[in-house]
Structure 1
């Protein structure tokens, strides 16, 4: 079960990145095209929200069953950069990124029909979240390496 969950979480990361790029691209196109934020645009933002929320669920389950997660929490682990990455840095940064995506989407959905403010909300929050995700992906264990 652990190995399957680990593979699911690793390969789901591709969908998260794709979902955020689609949502961010649509938001930037709408923002720079001076379009009005519509329900269709809200649904495009939902792609990034759903993929990140699914990923955080799998990640949190993995965090509690993995020997690299919560069971590894100790002072000695904080001295080891790889242990610290899996135990603290990666999970904390990803939770922050998902919170940012959720805030951006929540603000945007209230701005349907009010100019391009919904696009701006998604663009800013999703871009910051994407940067955080890219910075804290454990590239040493990325599928294909």
Structure 2
């Protein structure tokens, strides 16, 4: 079970990054192109939201079943940079990123002005994308 979850979490990261890039790019194109926010744009923004939430759920399960997750909760883990990454930095940063994505999507749904809708998605998804990129554990990235 653990190995399957770990592989799912690792390879789903590609889909999360792709979905966020598509959503972010579409939001920028809509914002700078002064386009109306259509149902297509709403669905494209879901490409960033849905995989990120799925990834978060798998990551949360992994956090409690992985030998690199909650079991490392100790002062000694805080002194080791790799342990600290898996125990604290990666999960906390990813939770913040998923919250930002959710806020950006929710705000865009409520706003009435199209440019503000695109701007909400661009800002929040962009910040989340940066956070995700800086806290992916590149040392165990599939293919390395």
Counterpart Cα distance in 1 of 2:16 and 2:136: 12
Counterpart in the other structure of 2:29: 29
Asked if the contact 1:20/1:126 (under 8 Å) is kept, the reply is yes
Counterpart in the other structure of 2:93: 93
Counterpart Cα distance in 2 of 1:82 and 1:22: 31
Give 3-state SS (helix, strand or coil) of 2:114's partner: coil
Counterpart in the other structure of 1:69: 69
Give 3-state SS (helix, strand or coil) of 2:111's partner: coil
Asked if the contact 1:27/1:120 (under 8 Å) is kept, the reply is yes
Counterpart in the other structure of 1:134: 133
Asked if the contact 1:22/1:48 (under 8 Å) is kept, the reply is yes
TM-score for both structures, normalised by structure 1:
0.97
Runs of 4+ aligned residues of structure 1 deviating over 6 Å after TM superposition are none
Counterpart Cα distance in 2 of 1:31 and 1:53: 25
Counterpart in the other structure of 2:57: 57
Counterpart Cα distance in 2 of 1:15 and 1:106: 21
**RMSD of aligned residue pairs (Cα, Å):** 0.8
Residues 53-72 of structure 1: per-residue CA shift (max 9 Å, x gap): 00000000000000110011
Give 3-state SS (helix, strand or coil) of 1:9's partner: helix
Residues 59-116 of structure 1: per-residue CA shift (max 9 Å, x gap): 000000001100111000100000000000000000000000000000001125x231
Counterpart in the other structure of 2:106: 106
Deviation, structure 1 residue 128:
0.3
Counterpart Cα distance in 2 of 1:123 and 1:81: 32
36-45 or 126-135: bigger deviation: 36-45
Counterpart Cα distance in 1 of 2:109 and 2:117: 7
Unaligned runs of at least 5 residues, structure 1: none
